[in-house]
Amino acid sequence: MFRRVLIANRGEIAVRVTQTLQQLGITAVSVYAQPDRCAMHVRQADEAYLLEGETTAQTYLRGENIIAIAKAHNIDAIHPGYGFLSENAEFAQMCQDNGITFIGPSPEVITNMGDKLIAKKVMTDAGIPVVPGLTVSVKDAETIRKDVANIGYPVLVKAAAGGGGKGMRLVASENELADAMAAAQREAKSAFGDDRVFIEKYIDKPRHVEIQIFGDTHGNVVHLFERECSIQRRHQKIIEESPSPAISSELRQQMGESAVQAAKAIGYTNAGTVEFILDQSGKFYFLEVNTRLQVEHPVTEFITQQDLVHAQLLVADGQALPFTQDSLKQTGHALEARIYAEDAERNFLPSTGTIIHYVPPSAPYVRVDSGVSTGSEVTVHYDPMLAKLIVWGATREESLRRMSWALQHFVVMGVTTNIEFLRQVIEHPAFQKGELHTHFLEEHEVSPPPDSQTPDAVLIAAAYGSKQSSHQMTNVSSSPNAESNNPWLTGGSWRAF
Ligand code: ADP
Ligand code: ADP
Ligand code: MG
């Protein structure tokens, strides 16, 4: 096994990878840009090295510099986390060329799956259902117009190199097509340096259901069940769960088998996710493969009781997977909510500043993967995701209740967060019933009540260092008139702390 592993990332995922490394007695080495010199991922690591440069492109995204640090400090392997260099085939190749193991799939697989057009072709050839659509690279405007009319509006224009919800345009009717394509091409060019786009039938009110896959270098490929990630804002997931309330055990088996078949078709090794879109009639279509550990992997860890980062290390080291399909069981139900420093009432404007008080909820079956702590600076330089809150319950009902409880007891002071917004979503009757689709937030117009920035009584208790039990305090905040009756909760005076 590796002795020294470098994590080419920051924030909660760097901290999370560090934890598994340290549990295994592997030295965790972090890198950081100047604004992160006091960041949690730097403090938790066994060693940390500065990345020279100003911008993200000059620091966390600069493969050569990270490789140079790795070589100078005898690194055996690099874990890329998600985002940044995780799906950069050139970087994976650079690692290989320098005798450093890249903890992820091969550069070839990353290249092919990073191109949605190649991915769709490979999946079609392997007999996996894909969303009906067409490629547009060599066609004239008139042919495209006819072909799209055959698919039927609305359609989506997507970037071949797309990711993170960028470069997608919804087209409602034919007279919008030309402009939408031109706009998508421009956006794709500036975001990914690649202006190829394609067109896909727009599935109405779909669910996003994805399958966690894992392969090793001995030819074993398994799936670790599904995650439903239908609660999205601007095509970005914010709440994920497993099992999906929408799928039967037969459908689960079919989707799992399709994902494994997809993984085998491309020679997949290490952790990955096959994303599908599920229409209202229960038909599923391939969307894309994410060739990395996913943000929402803890949901799967909870229901399978596996450490996916540990499995990634074993596979990267050339060992066999620590589980077989038959040994994997989906037990209970897990939910994840992404905690962002943003103001849900002001169009989700990112909120920056110093976190003056940070007390995540602590209880059995509640897991918090944090990238910050009290004293952390939240800046404009990076993604505003602060932490992930993950809960497990024997049933969906139990994990919903636990999530509501945990959100009410998550204290973050100094920056505005989406915690109250998440609670509104979780407690919404339609969410409780599992009636999810990717436009849930628009349809239900979920927004926090005007006073939501006033924290619940627990926050106040924490701010004052009060020893009052959380049980008592929860009662205070859950009584309908508690806010107007409680002097500490009016006037927003807590903000002064
Ligand atoms: P997940 O399905 O795990 O949520 P996302 O596609 O939302 O994955 O991406 C995870 C992270 O990686 C996010 O922080 C996102 O902003 C970032 N990301 C995804 N694709 C890209 C890309 N092409 N370029 C830069 N960052 C990206
Ligand atoms: P990205 O690489 O940005 O993650 P995806 O192709 O995975 O792009 O799509 C992201 C999200 O966009 C999906 O989860 C879904 O909400 C929506 N979406 C993508 N394709 C379609 C489609 N054909 N019909 C309806 N919604 C779609
Ligand atoms: Mg996707």
Q: What is the pLDDT of residues 287-314, one digit of tens each?
A: 999 999 999 999 999 999 999 999 999 9
Which of 365, 347, 220 minimizes the C-alpha distance to 299? 365
Q: What is the pLDDT of residues 314-336, one digit of tens each?
A: 999 999 999 999 999 999 999 99
Q: How far is the CA of 208 from the centre of ligand 2 (A)?
A: 8
3-state secondary structure the chain: CCCEEEECCCHHHHHHHHHHHHHCCCEEEEEECHHHCCCHHHHHCCEEEECCCCCCCCCCCCHHHHHHHHHHCCCCEEECCCCCCCCCHHHHHHHHHCCCEECCCCHHHHHHHHCHHHHHHHHHHCCCCECCEEECCCCCHHHHHHHHHHHCCCEEEEECCCCCCCCCEEECCHHHHHHHHHHHHHHHHHHHCCCCEEEEECCCCCEEEEEEEEECCCCCEEEEEEEEEEEEECCEEEEEEECCCCCCHHHHHHHHHHHHHHHHHCCCCEEEEEEEEECCCCCEEEEEEECCCCCCHHHHHHHHCCCHHHHHHHHHCCCCCCCCCCCCCCCCEEEEEEEECEEHHHCCEECCEECCEEECCCCCCEEEEECCCCCCEECCCCCCEEEEEEEEECCHHHHHHHHHHHHHCCEEECCCCCHHHHHHHHHCHHHHCCCCCCCHHHHHCCCCCCCCCCCCHHHHHHHCCCCCCHHHHHHHHHCCCHHHHCHHHCCCHHHHC
Model pLDDT, residue 139: 75
Q: How far is the CA of 163 from the centre of ligand 1 (A)?
A: 6
CATH topology of domain 4-103: Rossmann fold (3.40.50)
| CATH number for domain 207-485, candidates 3.90.1170.20, 3.40.50.700, 3.30.470.20, 3.10.20.440 | 3.30.470.20
**Is any atom of ligand 1 closer than 6 Å to the C-beta of 383?**
yes
The CATH number that domain 132-201 falls under is 3.30.1490.20
Q: How far is the CA of 492 from the centre of ligand 2 (A)?
A: 39
Residues carrying CATH 3.30.1490.20, the chain: 132-201
Other CB atoms within a 10 A radius of the CB of residue 472 amount to 12
Q: How far is the CA of 94 from the centre of ligand 3 (A)?
A: 25
Main-chain dihedrals φ then ψ at residue 421, nearest 5 degrees: -60, -45
Pocket test for ligand 1, best of 61, 82, 231 (most atoms within 8 A of CB): 82
Ligand nearest to the CA of 87: 1
Q: What is the pLDDT of residues 159-180, one digit of tens each?
A: 999 888 788 999 999 999 999 9
Q: Flag residues of the chain having pLDDT under 70.
A: 138, 448-497
Which residue has the CA at smallest separation from atom 2 of ligand 1? 294
Q: How far is the CA of 235 from the centre of ligand 2 (A)?
A: 6
Pocket test for ligand 2, best of 438, 442, 443 (most atoms within 8 A of CB): 438
Ligand nearest to the CA of 235: 2
List, by residue number, the catalytic residues. Answer: 292
Residues carrying CATH 3.30.470.20, the chain: 207-485
Q: What is the pLDDT of residues 385-415, one digit of tens each?
A: 999 999 999 999 999 999 999 999 999 999 9
Position in ligand 2 atom list of the atom nearest CA 285: 23
Pocket test for ligand 2, best of 287, 288, 291 (most atoms within 8 A of CB): 287
Distance, in Å, from the CA atom of 255 to the CA atom of 249, rounded to the nearest integer, reads: 10
Which residue has the CA at smallest separation from atom 13 of ligand 1? 83
Distance, in Å, from the CA atom of 158 to the CA atom of 114, rounded to the nearest integer, reads: 13
Which of 8, 75, 12, 6 minimizes the C-alpha distance to 41? 12
Q: Which residues line ligand 2 (CB under 6 A)?
A: 131, 156, 162-165, 200-203, 206, 208, 232, 235, 275, 277, 287-288, 438
Average pLDDT, the chain: 90
Q: How far is the CA of 158 from the centre of ligand 2 (A)?
A: 9
CA atoms within 13 Å, Cβ hemisphere of 461: 18
* 458, amino acid identity: V
Which residue has the CA at smallest separation from atom 15 of ligand 1? 164
Distance, in Å, from the CA atom of 485 to the CA atom of 471, rounded to the nearest integer, reads: 18
Model pLDDT, residue 164: 80
Residues carrying CATH 3.40.50.20, the chain: 4-103
With the CA atoms of 463, 466, 471 and 472 taken in that order, what torsion angle do they form, in degrees rounded to the nearest 10? -110
